[in-house]
Structure 1
Amino acid sequence: MTGFRDFLTRFRPVATPGRASPPAGIPADRTAALRAELGPPLALLEDAETAARDLRRQAAVAAAARRSEAENKAAEILAQARLQAHRTRERAAEETARASEREAAEMLADADRKATAVREAARTRTSDLADRAVALVLADIAADRLPSPTPEAES
């Protein structure tokens, strides 16, 4: 829509008064001329804008699909990692238990060897100690049979 100023410019004199000239004609409608000149390129731009909008929409859909696929893959990788970590922990616990059992068996075998050595030492020493104990007891018994010294004899 043209403004009031554009409306008034239509009635402005086209030429200075003077000799007669060919008929002046209708004033030019610049808005229509601009519309006629810029209409086809702007229509092409509208088509390009529509194509760009469609392309952005398709890209957003593709990005959402890729994001969803990546999230699913990440969840799968995480689940596998957790399972593998659980298996690794179980394996480590089993290895530790086996090592502890081996160490306990070695300690038990060592204790058995030491106990056997102590029993053998006791067995070999027992007869000597028993003989010495019997000798001491017999000596004590013999000392009790002897007449005890009288207090008068001691003074």
Structure 2
Amino acid sequence: MVRFRDFLARFRPVGTPGAPTAGVPADRAAELAAELEQPLDGLAQAQAEAAAIRAEASAEAERIRQEAARNAERIVELAHARAPQVRADAAAAAGHAAAGRAAEVAAAAERTAAGIRSRARERMPALADRAAALALEPADNSGRNRWQQAGSPE
């Protein structure tokens, strides 16, 4: 890096004030090139390092992508391997739920049947008496069907 003192030296006159004397004029282009050479070399080195870091990062990213793809494939394989067991577990759970619902329906049906049997027991004596009365009734009405309820049209 150029020192500040050398930087200021660029602005000094080449010769002493006064009458012109013979001398070599200062080469400003060479001085500027020499001044910028070291920073530009440092910049080129920094660019090379940045390119190397980008290349390394790109390779690392590719390695991570490949590893992630392998992990995804393993996860999918495990899922496919576990799928039959998961289906069986789901079917068993659904079967248990269906069995519980079937038991509820059967209990409701049994309650309905018990109600019907109870009503039948209550009504049976009256119906049996009526059937016996109809069976024992004399057949004096020749045009009437004896099993037809009284008062109903023929």
TM-score normalised by L of structure 2? 0.51
Partner of 1:8: none
RMSD of aligned alpha carbons: 4.4
% same residue: 38
TM-score normalised by L of structure 1? 0.51
Q: CA deviation at 1:72?
A: 4.8
Question: Which residue of 59, 65, 72 corresponds with 2:57?
Answer: 59
- The residue type equivalent to 1:57 in the other structure is A
Give the alignment of 1:28-43 within 5 angstroms. Answer: 28-43=26-41
Partner of 1:137: 135
User: Which structure 1 segments of 5+ residues have no match?
Assistant: 1-13, 145-155
Larger Rg: 1
- The residue type equivalent to 1:50 in the other structure is A
Distance 1:35 1:71 in 2: 52
- The residue type equivalent to 1:41 in the other structure is P
Distance 2:103 2:31 in 1: 106
Secondary structure at 2:26's aligned position in 1? coil
Q: CA deviation at 1:57?
A: 1.7
Higher normalized helix content (fraction of residues): 1
Partner of 1:150: none
Distance 2:35 2:126 in 1: 134
User: Which structure 2 segments of 5+ residues have no match?
Assistant: 1-14, 142-154
- The residue type equivalent to 1:133 in the other structure is A
Give the alignment of 1:53-92 within 5 angstroms. Answer: 53-70=51-68, 72-73=70-71, 75=72, 79=76, 91-92=89-90
Q: CA deviation at 1:60?
A: 2.3
Distance 1:15 1:113 in 2: 129
Distance 2:131 2:31 in 1: 142
Partner of 1:9: none
Partner of 1:102: 100
Secondary structure at 1:25's aligned position in 2? coil
| Number of equivalent positions | 126
